[in-house]
Structure 1
């Protein structure tokens, strides 16, 4: 016969188990209950970029932000031919009014394993900047290699520098391989890619091995593009930009017309999708990012169609504990606040 004390103890234990079961069912598989620190109060950035049209606007935004000090621009493999990417980066520094004051470093010209990947000229145009013809500028690339520059700058400003990774992660991965200690010294890496997509994000697909190295490095990583409409600029927004009639707005219209038409016709989007400017906006104004998930992100290195895909949540089937998170995935962002920042940047004379 069960006495009253045993009955109550058994009931309490059963209740606790039921509550734990409900919480386990309510939690999203693969998402950690441990939150990761946000990238707040950023003052110093390195822009690691493969300047196509969205990178170009992101560079303008970062250089125009009074709160940011752009320590260097490093050029990564990515959207188009590497030499053209370097020329585009130099031109963007000139357009922003910082010619000769912000160094541009050439770096790794191909992925770590040297594997080829698809060009993104279908959305960026042959030169990377749509219909815009890139003129020559006086500034030349800095003689220091991009990988060396990344290591030097991070060590010079410990726990202050965010690497704004707008392209493939080859330069960043090589810096971590050359100097693993910078993983503990970098304030964070803001990477433009998404997770659990039907197809790999372009920047991860460019160099999956590099992405794998970065995600396994222990460096603080934020990635993700918010919701489906978080970085959208609609045809109406393009009309707003056209009416500004500044050198920057005219550049935007020429360089982004192809992006708008491709996104709407081929991807059925409501406008142009702007992952690089959104990632940059979240560093300038962290309030733009409104939702995060702490995940253990892994990079698929095999598969004909899935190589370069970033995944998390493998324990949703095997019911194992969620692994410790290694990255903050941004799942929601304020599109109106993002657009306002883009407009302020382009309206400047």
Structure 2
């Protein structure tokens, strides 16, 4: 399938000498990272890692290896929080005994509750040695703590940095607690997390299986559920601009074999080989956040809401809370720009174009 890219021209309003400075805060390395690293529209000034889908040490190794593949050794990588602020594997086991099984538990995941098309992830401990399937990176992380790096960078570039966070928000909460000025110095925080009322859109096996996550618990989402206290702290922090990408728009998207082929065809050789090895079938959760940064025009439905997350240890622990104007509790929760729906074709075009821009970059 061929995509028409000329009509999209993501980010053309940004001059070449005024690239948007971006820090990626995430729990691994995948298409979202490549979109921002390969794009000519942004300048990735650092990547911080956090535990979520996997432990922070493994996520750091994955990012470093990804930067080697993308030929971007210039981007500093800083390891972040290994553990959530309060939540734990033992606490999650206790919660499941009281309130039922979670569909996805990230680093604490040992097996699926029922058969699924997705592969079963390997289980590791937080301090287990890291041996990546394709070999460990030669690059090393910066000798700094992620929260300190984030604070240092926003003081260096006040109001100029966009943070794109696609994992648990532990690093951001720690940075805000260490430096109450932190959030106010960030140009924009774009995070993927939370859930309002997602509905299955695509009619296929993978989409129906991912709908298990929200069909009966529409306010629950993994990134927030892994560290609810951090998500709540972030929700109460004084950001200049806060953009939230909940699960909702992702239900109309999918990492299809066709999309992966289109991206690989457009990408430089090493990146193309990496893309070709990716497992298809997943919704484009994080890619929506990166796509929004590159092309905000792909948003088709958005709303301003006050947002928070439930930190009471009960059946709704980690669930997203939201209010329209006048209905919020008024306890410091911040108004967020919430993306409710996007144009999936336009997102896919942005993803392919970012790879094409990377292919044109000197390596």
Match of 2:62 in 1: 88
SS in 1 for 2:196: coil
Q: How far is the alpha carbon of 1:135 from its aligned partner?
A: 1.9
Distance in 1 (CA, whole Å) between partners of 2:228 and 2:296 is 28
Q: Which residue of 2 aligns with 1:119?
A: 106
CA RMSD of aligned residues (A): 2.7
Q: TM-score, normalised by structure 2?
A: 0.71
Distance in 2 separating the partners of 1:314 and 1:164: 24
Moved more, 284-293 or 210-219: 284-293
Of the three residues 249, 253, 259, the one matched with 1:227 is 249
- Structure that is richer in helix per residue: 1
The worse-fitting range, judged by mean Cα deviation, of 321-330 and 273-282 is 321-330
Asked if structure 1 preserves the Cα contact closer than 8 Å seen for 2:193 and 2:244, the reply is: yes
In structure 1, C-alpha distance between the alignment counterparts of 2:23 and 2:250, rounded to whole Å: 27
Change (3 A) 1:314 1:60: closer
Partner of 2:49: 75
Structure 2 unpaired stretches of 5+? 1-12, 93-104, 113-117, 125-131, 198-217
Deviation, 1:346, is 4.3
CA shift digits 1:271-302 (9 cap, x unpaired): x3011111011111221223211101110112
Closer, same or farther: CA 201–61 of 1 in aligned 2, 3 Å = same
Report how far residue 196 of structure 1 moved: 2.5
Which deviations, in whole Å up to 9, do the C-alpha atoms of 1:94-146 show, x marking residues without a partner?
A: 111112x1110012111012522522666573399xxx823222210100111
Residues 296, 323 of structure 1: 8 Å contact kept: no
Please say if residues 231 and 278 of structure 1, whose CA atoms lie closer than 8 Å, have aligned partners that are also in contact. Answer: no
Provide Cα deviations, 1:294-320, integer angstroms capped at 9, x if missing partner.
Answer: 1011101124442111121389xxxx6
Quick one: distance in 1 between partners of 2:194 and 2:157? 29
What is the CA–CA distance in structure 1 between the aligned matches of 2:159 and 2:253, rounded to whole Å?
28
For the 8 Å contact 1:204–1:308, the answer to whether it is kept is yes
Shift of 1:56: 1.4
d(CA) in 2 for partners of 1:86 and 1:173?
A: 19
Give 2:82's aligned residue: 109
Number of residue equivalences = 286
- Cα distance change, pair 149–83 in 1 and its aligned pair in 2 (3 A): same
Residue 271 (structure 2) pairs with residue 248 (structure 1): yes
Q: Secondary structure at the match of 2:234?
A: helix
Superposition deviation, residue 157 in structure 1: 0.6
CA contact (8 A) 2:250 2:285 kept: no
Structure with higher Rg: it is 1
Structure 1 residues 158 and 250, CA, compared in 2 at 3 Å: closer, same or farther?
same
2:196 equivalent to 1:203: no
Cα contact 2:50–2:167 (8 A) shared by 1: yes
Match of 1:327 in 2: 336
Within 5 Å, which residues of 2 pair with 1:291-302? Answer: 291-302=301-312
